[in-house]
Amino acid sequence: MNAGEQLCLACGLCCDGSLFDHVQLGPGDDAKKLKALGLPVVVSRSSTPVARFRQPCAALCADRTCRVYADRPLQCRTFECGVFKDAQAGRIKFSAALRVVKRARQRVDDVRRLLRELGDTEEHRSLNERFRRTQRRMESGGADAAAADTFAELSVAVHTLNVLAFRKFYTKADAPEPT
């Protein structure tokens, strides 16, 4: 296993709903085949139909390998985050890249813990979606002071994760739209 593969197996953030809400299929991707392989591909009914499936990805295994690796969509085959690119190009050492990944995973764990404390246990949804839903729930009123404090902590944790993601992981082309 090369250093890049080791880095991704220590990470998995571009598959587990931490960095992205969904994977969009591209030219050459076989939606039917991916569906048959267990990926919940849906096609939008817009004038330009878009096929995509939600993250966390159903093909992501516990050891962070991809169950459909040989058939993974174009987005998965072409995406390389900033940390990965920097390490591959020798701009940073792989040990430094691993430290960034570890830090990001700790931030993700913080967000997940706080979401659970606020009653959201939907681990099969992306972090962004879970946060937005929790935010709507909190803003609709009725939260006690302790929940309001936890939500404030969650908002800071999400912001900290986003800053790290935009600085180290997304490239301009793949950064999600601000919500």
Residue with tokens 């998995």: 12
Restricting to residues 33-92, name those near ligand SF4 by CB under 6 A.
Answer: 57, 59-60, 66, 68, 72, 76, 80-81, 83-84
- C-beta separation of 83 from 77 below 8 A: no
Q: Judged by CB, which is closer to ligand SF4: 57, or 138?
A: 57
Minimum distance, C-beta of residue 74 to ligand SF4, in the bound complex (Å): 10
Give the sheet arrangement for strand 22-24, strand by strand: 22-24, 51-54, 42-43
Strand partners, 60: 66
Q: Does 169 bind ligand SF4 (CB under 6 A)?
A: yes
Stretch that binds ligand SF4, among 6-14, 107-115, 128-136, 156-164 (CB under 6 A): 6-14
Q: How many Å apart are CA 148 and CA 117, to the nearest integer?
A: 11
Q: How many Å apart are CA 102 and CA 160, to the nearest integer?
A: 14
Tokens for 71, please give them.
């058939």
Minimum distance, C-beta of residue 50 to ligand SF4, in the bound complex (Å): 16
Closest C-alpha to 30, from 43, 48, 45, 20? 43
Q: Does 94 bind ligand SF4 (CB under 6 A)?
A: no
Phi, psi values for residue 66, rounded to 5° = -105, 120
Binding mask 114-153 for ligand SF4 (x = CB under 6 A): ----------------------------------------
Q: Judged by CB, which is closer to ligand SF4: 22, or 132?
A: 22
Residues near ligand SF4 (CB under 6 A): 7-8, 11-15, 23, 57, 59-60, 66, 68, 72, 76, 80-81, 83-84, 101, 169
